[in-house]
Amino acid sequence: MQENNSAMDELNKQQNYSYSYHPLPCSDSNVDQINNEHNISAEEDCHKNKVYHLNKYALAGAILASTNSILLGYDIGVMSGAVIYIRKDLKISSVQVEILVGCLNVCSLIGSLVSGKISDMIGRRYTIMIAALTFLIGALLMGLAPSFTFLMFGRVIAGIGVGFSLMISPVYVAELSPDLTRGFLTSLPEVFISFGILLGYVSNYALSSLPIGLNWRIMLGIAALPAILVALGVLAMPESPRWLVMKGKLEEAKQVLIRTSSNKGEAEFRLSEISQAATNSSTSSRHGQGVWKELLITPTRPVLRILIAAVGINFFMQASGNDAVIYYSPEVFREAGVKGEKQLFGVTIIMGIAKTCFVLFSALVLDRFGRRPMLLLGSSGMAVSLFGLGMGCTLLHNSDEKPMWAIALCVVAVCAAVSFFSIGLGPTTWVYSSEIFPMRLRAQGTSLAISVNRLISGVVSMSFLSISEEITFGGMFFVLAGVMVLATLFFYYFLPETKGKSLEEIEALFEEELS
């Protein structure tokens, strides 16, 4: 990999700091020399001048990438209502309902696994385009489905697109973002997921009065519209500067870093850090250390700890049952005593508004309060809320009169559970799992963690109704409350704080935790 000397000369002339930067080829010894010089003056100067400032260029790129997440959110929200009419129209059983709902999450496992390698090959931007186009095909197939089999095929295609999206959006935003605003920007995918869920609920309410057979097809088919917009939006997005450095495109990386940094000095220092990380990655490759081998077969202690942290947070995100509660929210509210389809969809809209507001709040404060406090608040709050929901459902299940206070308790508890999820696990999972891997492992390491996320989501979604029928909804929520207690303990004892640190500093953080 050769560094662009003229680009570095230009950057050196433009910066106004009291240190010099020498344009040198990007060899191991020269990068070390650059970094040694920066450690004397540039690093101190750069960190000293860091301020919490939301860069507009980084924000625009993050919004364009995160818009892809609306597709998953919309599917989660709209399917909760559409499945009621699909069940009536296609005469399918409860088991088929679970398969229909959960297959998207299971099939997204495929997209998550292959997207890491693909994004390393063709870049982050075009991988986002693949995600949008794949979901577009799936949405059209679902909207035109004449039978259950055809509908399932559309869900499989859409699921692959969702898998691509869930992996690539947070990775792209994390690699584009400045250190001090990375938490906010990388949590935007979850904000858009929540907004998509709300749009799905609104679609259910607005289209529920249409004839059965037409209503659910329109509900599912109109998801093709945002997919088209996302695919077109990719054309206006910059490429990830870290991917550009890995490919030796330092001039392009420099231009992106200048636009996404507070000043020229910060951009230069970030380029130095990224170049060093890329050199380390090249050294590992020359020594035969492949990515999957380093992740799964011969991981170092820091890499093993990073992998466990990333897989663990993704596991607990879906083991919380949040996706299943949203998918089956009409069933849950019906069990809680809410009658009538319009009333059910109206309550779900309230839940969607609460979820969206809290995830936006969490995104805004994540860089100030840190990852750990938000995770601990969210998971402990979910444990209490799910326990209250279990209590309310148990009382209603064993009561013939259906007291209004118990119904209110269930509605409030469901809204509280999804709100606490939106405070903690919802946005923080994407941020944390996309920022802790070293650059050489980030794409494929994140794809592995997201694959676990999708697998657990599919398992929970495809078994939620069956298990609830065996142990009641109340029993199911007691189990989920216990899972959240375990999650809180895992986050407290195992996850170090990463706020304000560069992506290149975080691997050292995990090494320090082991010392």
Give the model's pLDDT for residue 41.
Answer: 41
Give the model's pLDDT for residue 34.
Answer: 38
Average pLDDT of the chain? Answer: 80
Reference 79, options 462, 386, 415; nearest CA is 462
Q: pLDDT of 381-416, one tens digit each?
A: 999 999 998 998 888 888 777 788 888 888 888 889
Q: CA–CA separation, 121 vs 119, rounded Å?
A: 5
Q: Which of 18-27, 160-169, 209-218, 394-403 has the lowest mean pLDDT?
A: 18-27
299-514 shares the fold of 55-237: yes
Q: CA–CA separation, 448 vs 470, rounded Å?
A: 33
Give the model's pLDDT for residue 319.
Answer: 93
pLDDT band at 379; cut points 50, 70, 90: very high
Q: pLDDT of 253-263, one tens digit each?
A: 888 888 888 77
| CA angle, residues 309, 456, 124, in degrees to nearest 5 | 65
Q: Which of 96-110, 275-289, 480-494 has the lowest mean pLDDT?
A: 275-289
- Burial zone of 175 (CB within 10 Å; 0-12 exposed, 13-18 middle, 19+ buried): buried
Predicted confidence (pLDDT) at residue 508 exceeds the cutoff of 80: no
Q: Which of 140-154, 211-225, 264-278 has the lowest mean pLDDT?
A: 264-278
Domain 55-237 has CATH 1.10.150.120: no
Predicted confidence (pLDDT) at residue 103 exceeds the cutoff of 80: yes
What are 354's two structure tokens?
């609460």
What are 289's two structure tokens?
């250390």
Q: Where in the chain are the domains? A: 55-237, 299-514
Predicted confidence (pLDDT) at residue 185 exceeds the cutoff of 90: no
pLDDT band at 464; cut points 50, 70, 90: confident
* Fold annotation for 299-514: Growth Hormone; Chain: A; (1.20.1250)
Q: Which of 134-143, 305-314, 358-367, 495-504 has the lowest mean pLDDT?
A: 495-504
What are 37's two structure tokens?
């010089």
Give the model's pLDDT for residue 20.
Answer: 32
Of residues 402 and 455, the one with the higher pLDDT is 455
Mean pLDDT for 351-360 is: 86
Q: How far is CA 479 from CA 9, 49, 267, in A?
A: 61, 48, 48
Of residues 143 and 37, the one with the higher pLDDT is 143
Contact (CB, 8 A) for 42 and 272: yes
Mean pLDDT for 198-211 is: 87
Give the model's pLDDT for residue 383.
Answer: 96
Q: CA–CA separation, 449 vs 441, rounded Å?
A: 12
